Amino acid sequence: MKSFRLYDAHTHLQDERFGGCQAELLAACTREGVASMVVNGSCEEDWPQVLALAGSTTVPTALRILPSFGYHPWYLHERTGDWLKNLSRMLDAVPSAVGEIGLDRWKPDLPYDGQEEVFIAQLRLAAERNLPVSIHCLQAWGRMLEILKSEPRPACGFLLHSYGGPKEMVKPFAELGAYFSLPGYYAHERKARQRETFKHVPAERLLIETDAPDQSLPEERNRFPLTDCGTGKALNHPANLREVYEFAAEIRGVSLELLMSEIEVNFLRLFGQP
Ligand SMILES: [Zn+2]
């Protein structure tokens, strides 16, 4: 049997929509050859869950979970007066990664006020500690580039997860140290622009993500169908990672073997060796 060593650059495995079934999800991931995944916290409330998951005995020994802590722009309204102190404390305990943080001008009714201030504070924290940072950006690419140019950045680099910005901005971001992760969601027919963009990402800056439980593949490629038992809505199973690799190999016109070895090198360069 072929052996796979796959790396998921962006998940939210702690998400409560998984209904506490993380041990089963991880067992399936291990069978698929997932070697490591980054688990992103989004707010003060879920940071301890991310930490607990990373240290949990339910994680198979063959799989490394990389905990990441940050305030996602969607949850900024929940932040306490001590949020930055609390984040520093998490990173003191586990100096692994910062994220998910970012800027979002797309989500309806989400105030933009305060987003830049919180983003910059977290970026500075990542830069001071030289920790990889995972960035969410929707309809704020111009400001994102300006901020990343003018602020200190982590020397190890940063990830623009589910990169959906213009093709022309890949180069300027890459010059600042960006990596770009491709989600399976871009296999949907209507995502032609994003697929085109990902053909132009330099091989040494490409990463792959599931963004589980979100950003599902098209139905015909979804090998691990999963539903939220509470709402009945479809969820993305993290074991779909291999299918996202296959999709990436197709659009870039390379073999799965070559892609796997490139992604492994990139992932370990950005997120560190175990
Ligand atoms: Zn995310």
Span from the CA of 8 to the centroid of ligand 1 (angstroms): 12
Distances (CA, A) of 42 to 12, 13, 98: 9, 11, 10
Is the pTM higher than 0.95? The answer reads yes
HSE (CB half, 13 Å, CA atoms) of 75?
17
Each residue's pLDDT tens digit in the chain (274 positions)? 467 899 999 999 999 999 999 999 999 999 999 999 999 999 999 999 999 999 888 888 889 999 999 999 999 999 999 999 999 999 999 999 999 999 999 999 999 999 999 999 999 999 999 999 999 999 999 999 999 999 999 999 999 999 999 999 999 999 999 999 999 999 999 999 999 999 999 999 999 999 999 999 999 999 999 998 788 899 999 999 999 999 999 999 999 999 999 999 999 999 998 7
The tokens for 185 are: 């969601």
Span from the CA of 209 to the centroid of ligand 1 (angstroms): 10
Q: Please tell me whether the peptide bond between 100 and the residue prior to it is cis, using omega within 30 degrees of 0.
A: yes
Span from the CA of 32 to the centroid of ligand 1 (angstroms): 22
Span from the CA of 12 to the centroid of ligand 1 (angstroms): 6
Span from the CA of 213 to the centroid of ligand 1 (angstroms): 9
The tokens for 58 are: 């339910």
Span from the CA of 1 to the centroid of ligand 1 (angstroms): 33
Burial class (CB in 10 A: 0-12, 13-18, 19+), 143: middle
Span from the CA of 104 to the centroid of ligand 1 (angstroms): 12
